[in-house]
Amino acid sequence: MTLRVVLADDQALLREAFRLLLDSAEDIAVVGEAGDGREAVRLARQLRPDVVVMDIRMPEVDGLTATAQICADPDLHECHVLVLTTYETDEYVAQALRAGAGGFIGKGIGAEDLINAVRTIAGGETLLSPAATRSLVARFLATPEDTDGPSPEELDALTPREREMVALVATGLSNPEIAEQMFLSPFTVRAHVQRAMTKLGARDRAQLVVIAYRTGLVRGGRP
């Protein structure tokens, strides 16, 4: 299956470089380009890509606002946003995750890493290091605007195994790492995580991490 990508960056030269790079992968095709956030949202609704690679600082509508609009649109539930920016600050990462982005990476990333990042985001995985996941999620969940969200009672819908998986995801472990730690197959881990996401209404692993912290399932990076 070919992954359809929309690129959003106000610098045409960078868009061209990213297009050439991503189009070089046999399973990825860039289907649209946007120079600002408003155009990115329009193209996402028109083209229904698998991934929008989104810059933050753009004219008209910035990338964080555009990300929030895309992720809040029920018709774009299968569209994932990968934030790709020069500005890798804690606050931007927090805002991007809060808006619904599935990943956050810097423009200094290597060519093959960017290709793999698009594949990862398209699969509904989050793309943050374990340390970044723990510190940034804990940071932005402590702010007043994050007081609304799932209650601990909502975890009652999960089986004990699913709760365990959600807690491990929230500590920043990948599916293969969880599988190794729990002596399970990656396929089994993925199935548990996917069921937990469905029950909790999480669109991706990043939101699953947020829920784990908000409900108190994980505190200070520990289950």
Burial of 85 (0-12, 13-18, 19+ CB in 10 A): buried
Going by pLDDT thresholds of 50, 70 and 90, the confidence category of residue 199 is very high
Beta bridge partners, 138, equal none
Q: How many domains does the chain divide into?
A: 2
HSE of 57, CA atoms in CB hemisphere, 13 A:
8
Q: 208 with 97: CB under 8 angstroms?
A: no
Going by pLDDT thresholds of 50, 70 and 90, the confidence category of residue 147 is very low
Residue-wise pLDDT for 77-121, tens only, equals: 999 999 998 877 777 887 888 898 988 888 888 898 899 889 988
pLDDT at 68: 96
Going by pLDDT thresholds of 50, 70 and 90, the confidence category of residue 166 is very high
Alpha carbon 31 to its chain centroid, in Å, reads 20
Going by pLDDT thresholds of 50, 70 and 90, the confidence category of residue 49 is very high
> In terms of residue numbers, what domain contains 162?
139-214
Beta bridge partners, 80, equal 51
Mean pLDDT of 143-168: 77
More confident residue, 102 or 20: 20
DSSP letters spanning 158-210? S-HHHHHHHHHHHTT--HHHHHHHHT--HHHHHHHHHHHHHHHT-SSHHHHHH
DSSP 222: B
Alpha carbon 14 to its chain centroid, in Å, reads 22
Statement to judge: residues 13 and 119 lie in one domain? yes
Residue type, 129: S
Domain at 194, CATH number:
1.10.10.10
Statement to judge: residues 116 and 7 lie in one domain? yes
Statement to judge: residues 155 and 73 lie in one domain? no
Mean pLDDT of 63-67: 97
Q: 215 with 155: CB under 8 angstroms?
A: yes
Closest C-alpha among 203, 5, 10, 175 to residue 98: 203
Residue with tokens 């470089």, as numbered in its chain:
17
Statement to judge: residues 49 and 119 lie in one domain? yes
pLDDT at 154 over 60: yes
**Cα–Cα distance for residue pair 197/199, rounded to 1 Å:** 6
